[in-house]
Chain A
Amino acid sequence: MTAFTLDGAAVPFLDGDTLMSAAVRAGRHIPHLCWHPRLGQSGACRLCTVRVDGRLAAACTTRAAAGQVVENRTPDLDRRRRLLLQMLFVEGNHFCPGCEKSGECLLQAQACAMGMTGPDFEEFHPHRPVDASHPDLWLETNRCILCKLCVRASHEVDGKDVFAIGGRGIATRLIVNSPSGRLADSAFAVDDLAAQVCPVGAILPKRRGFAVPLGRRRFDLRDAAGAGTAEPLAAAAAVGPSAQGEGADGPR
């Protein structure tokens, strides 16, 4: 098996692997938000930006090649990651203390891991609606970071296309496919993969609060790096190289 080096350590890869999929299989963590082992590649959040032979590239969309020298956790790259995380925090409305996802939230966990202590930039405070219409699920778009995991999961795995992306630029938004535009009138169901993959608290099950007390949640016990490898590991081994050649917004 051929290999590339990630921060000096050899990482073996299979033909068609991205840097991300190979690293995850090897139990190595590259910070990310919009990547998921069961879903096609995206490259939207850019948190996984690494240096490949000196050039910046997203680990989740870059094909692994033998002998590549990949830098991951350097001070410069982590500084870039901090800026990207701060951008996501100021773009939406993120109030961690009041969010059920706190402690399970990948955005929050990555921010902690990267040493982000505050937003630094001015917050945009956008006006975004909360869709509470669905009997089992909340859609809290104030927390949406446009990672498109739900869009891809609903299309690729659930086969429902419950979500799509609308608008452009800073007005880009998640839209729900239903006659009214509300989640209640869509085909969304609590068992959908799209209902499980949200890295933040934008899609949450209803009637579940404090099932695990604060302080004992996933990222309270381990940092994002540990969590990034735990459950994707097994799944990643089963998943081959992801689909390519589509527009990065997904199949449409």
Chain B
Amino acid sequence: MSVFELRTAHVDRVLQRHGGRREALVQILREVQEGTRWLPREALAQVARGVGLTPAIVEGVASFYSFFHLRDVGRHHLLFSDNITDRMVGSCRLARALCRQLGTTPGQRSADGMASVGFTSCIGLGDQGPAVLVDQQRALTRLDDLRVVQLAELLRAGEPTERWPEEWFRIDDQVRRADVLLEAPAMRGEALRAAVARGPQATLDEIVASKLRGRGGAGFPTGEKWRCACCAPVREDGTRIVVCNADESEPGSFKDRVLLSRHADAVFEGMTVAAWVLGARRGFVYLRGEYRYLLEGLLALLARRRADGLLGRGIVGCEGFDFDIEIHLGAGAYVCGEESSLIESLEGKRGTPRIRPPFPVERGYLGQPTIVNNVETFCAAARIAARGGAWWAAIGTPVSSGTKLHSVSGDCARPGIYEYPFGVTIGRILADCGGGSAGREVQAVQVGGPSGVCLAASECGRRLCFEDVPTAGALMVFDSSRDMFEVARCFAHFFAHESCGFCTPCRVGTELVVRRMDKLAAGHGSMFDEQTLQALESLLHGTTHCGLGASATNPLRDTLARFRPAYERRLQSPDFKPGFDLDAELEPARRVTGRDDPGAHLEWHA
């Protein structure tokens, strides 16, 4: 068979496996690409025919997600995690070194076609970076100069990843402090049997009584969300839907990875408890594409739960309690962590946030009432179903019940996962993780990732809970050697890269912020630039279509307010300074005329 015939047959097999359903489009594209390495136009056209969509719509979906390649890439595709914490341990230098040894540049395929190297948003390994995603299948951790040299050799020799040292792929959970969620034993149906014994309404009452609030950051009361979905009418052939948001894309967050590695049974059990309350028959885990390496283990666990009567028909022997879970893999899009974008993506579309109302609890996946909860929320819900709402409500603070997992990374001696009851002070976490070091005291902490808040060391007494500093569970530590302007600039690039492009203020505004901060970084800053940045910051708050845009300038706002010196030394010029180098703009003219004498320069530096 020719290459073309092989590819056609592969695409046909994938389409068949998904029954040509258009809502499976993102999964189909991913599985096609796993066999073809990239998505040629003809393959997209074949997929379009197979799912009954226009080729332009399929191209529109494919070009939305970072992990779909519309041009050929190298035999191995390496993406350096590009969070600030990766940069702090040398990721940029290592990426340059790797490119040099392969004779290529970031984003380009090496001349021998063996590899391409690029950057991607944080891949959830902030406690063991620098990290690199390989072929969107596995992740390299703790990269260093020696490994880069060996890696380049393996790449050039065309060695398959199975023959790379296994140690390079080691991912540690690094649980540093466990509380009720992390120290609990595996779950094999206890919560389900308790829920069935109680009945759906009484189970919901326990969730409400627990005062559990969503762990994804917004903190919406979980019981209230479930109750709204229970009240929403279901169409005749439909069902309610339970979705687990495992698109852990907030830079610096990795606690969901650890929960899915160690406590996936509790997560699945929590989803099944929700299904019991809602009368839902269908569930999804939206697993971020970066965590592809967790897929096989999760599928095996689902199979075991089916065999144990904890999923499928007649769960825990209760007739009519039918529910099953599918895993949907994302493909590199931060915005899909927003629940309505996530549902769009589940339906095989571009991850553009929906207009609300209607909210997902009324009309979500394929128009059906849908709850979307974080991994950690389901994990907690399972424990609450087993042990009761009063038990959970007694932990934490009156407004913020229970415990919270924190992914701690950056300048600290013991990065990893820390579980505390709500209300813990930042100072306590810094003491436990060994933040800062002698002569390099802690300068700042970024709580809740870039979309959260950046606090100064003087605010260590503040407490992590909904009534003081809410958090989605990421805490990055910066010591006094770090330039907080560069931290904010890194996050500005992140938001611009992840903007879905739908609304004007986010699409253009995040790009304008990036250009302005790059201008400052290049030494072209003036006092006027701060006014512009402030104007953009104020516009993005409140004018954007969704929360991504609304929080995109949080790092700018916080660092401007708290770390002014980092900006001031870049904003000293009282005169207007253009964003470009006038002399450099003359370079094409110099090239054409073959001149490089003083007369061909605006300023001559001999």
Interface residues of A (CB under 8 A from B): 41, 43-47, 49, 55-56, 58, 61, 63, 80, 83-84, 87-88, 90-91, 121-122, 124, 145-146, 161, 163-172, 175-179, 244-249, 252
Beta-carbon contact of B354 and A166 below 8 Å: no
Complexed CA–CA distance, A91 and B510 (Å): 12
- Residues in B with CB closer than 8 Å to A56 are 542-543
- Residues in A with CB closer than 8 Å to B586 are none
Q: Is B261 an interface residue (CB 8 A)?
A: no
With A84-B539, A87-B512, A164-B60 as given contacts, are A169 and B545 in contact (CB-CB < 8 Å)? no
Minimum CB–CB distance from B216 to chain A (whole Å) comes to 19
Minimum CB–CB distance from B352 to chain A (whole Å) comes to 4
Complexed CA–CA distance, A172 and B579 (Å): 24
The residue from A166, A248, A252 contacting B63, defined by CB atoms under 8 A apart: A166
- A sample of 30 cross-chain residue pairs with beta-carbon separation below 8 angstroms, ordered by A number, consists of A46-B504, A46-B544, A46-B545, A56-B542, A56-B543, A63-B357, A80-B543, A87-B504, A88-B508, A90-B508, A91-B507, A91-B508, A164-B56, A166-B59, A168-B65, A168-B500, A168-B501, A169-B511, A170-B501, A170-B508, A171-B501, A172-B501, A172-B507, A175-B60, A245-B358, A247-B340, A247-B350, A248-B354, A252-B60, A252-B349
Interface residues of B (CB under 8 A from A): 45, 53-57, 59-61, 63-66, 333, 340-341, 344, 347, 349-350, 352-355, 357-358, 363, 367, 496-505, 507-512, 515, 532, 535-536, 539, 542-545, 579-580
Minimum CB–CB distance from B330 to chain A (whole Å) comes to 14
Complexed CA–CA distance, A203 and B504 (Å): 20
Which 4 A-B residue pairs are closest in the complex by CB-CB distance?
A172-B501, A177-B56, A56-B542, A87-B508
Beta-carbon contact of B57 and A169 below 8 Å: no
- Residues in B with CB closer than 8 Å to A91 are 507-508, 511
Minimum CB–CB distance from B45 to chain A (whole Å) comes to 8
The residue from B57, B63, B341, B349 contacting A167, defined by CB atoms under 8 A apart: B63
Complexed CA–CA distance, A122 and B511 (Å): 11
The residue from B55, B503, B511, B515 contacting A45, defined by CB atoms under 8 A apart: B503
With A56-B543, A245-B358, A252-B349 as given contacts, are A44 and B502 in contact (CB-CB < 8 Å)? yes
Beta-carbon contact of A170 and B511 below 8 Å: yes
Complexed CA–CA distance, A214 and B504 (Å): 29
Complexed CA–CA distance, A165 and B349 (Å): 11
In the complex, residue of chain B having the shortest beta-carbon distance to the beta carbon of A160: B54
With A43-B355, A169-B507 as given contacts, are A249 and B349 in contact (CB-CB < 8 Å)? yes
- Residues in A with CB closer than 8 Å to B352 are 247-249
Complexed CA–CA distance, A1 and B515 (Å): 50
The residue from B53, B66, B505, B545 contacting A87, defined by CB atoms under 8 A apart: B505
Report the number of A-B residue pairs with Cβ-Cβ less than 8 Å: 152
In the complex, residue of chain A having the shortest beta-carbon distance to the beta carbon of B536: A83
- Residues in A with CB closer than 8 Å to B512 are 87, 90, 121
The residue from B54, B64, B354, B539 contacting A168, defined by CB atoms under 8 A apart: B64
Minimum CB–CB distance from B356 to chain A (whole Å) comes to 8
Minimum CB–CB distance from B355 to chain A (whole Å) comes to 5
Beta-carbon contact of B54 and A177 below 8 Å: yes
Complexed CA–CA distance, A43 and B344 (Å): 16
**14 further interface pairs, Cβ-Cβ under 8 Å (given A169-B497, A170-B508):** A49-B543, A80-B539, A90-B508, A91-B508, A124-B511, A145-B504, A165-B501, A167-B64, A169-B499, A169-B511, A172-B502, A245-B354, A249-B349, A249-B502
Complexed CA–CA distance, A145 and B341 (Å): 22
Beta-carbon contact of A166 and B504 below 8 Å: no
Beta-carbon contact of A245 and B59 below 8 Å: no
Beta-carbon contact of B57 and A87 below 8 Å: no
- Residues in A with CB closer than 8 Å to B59 are 164, 166, 175
- Residues in B with CB closer than 8 Å to A90 are 508, 512
Beta-carbon contact of B55 and A177 below 8 Å: yes
Residue among A80, A163, A172 facing the most chain B CB atoms (10 A cut-off): A172
Beta-carbon contact of A249 and B543 below 8 Å: no
Beta-carbon contact of A84 and B505 below 8 Å: yes
Complexed CA–CA distance, A118 and B507 (Å): 20
- Residues in B with CB closer than 8 Å to A164 are 54, 56-57, 59-60
Residue among A46, A61, A84, A124 facing the most chain B CB atoms (10 A cut-off): A46
- Residues in A with CB closer than 8 Å to B508 are 87-88, 90-91, 170
In the complex, residue of chain B having the shortest beta-carbon distance to the beta carbon of A61: B355
Beta-carbon contact of A247 and B545 below 8 Å: no
Beta-carbon contact of A88 and B355 below 8 Å: no
Beta-carbon contact of B349 and A247 below 8 Å: yes
- Residues in A with CB closer than 8 Å to B503 are 43-46
Beta-carbon contact of B507 and A244 below 8 Å: no
- Residues in B with CB closer than 8 Å to A46 are 503-505, 543-545
Complexed CA–CA distance, A252 and B59 (Å): 12
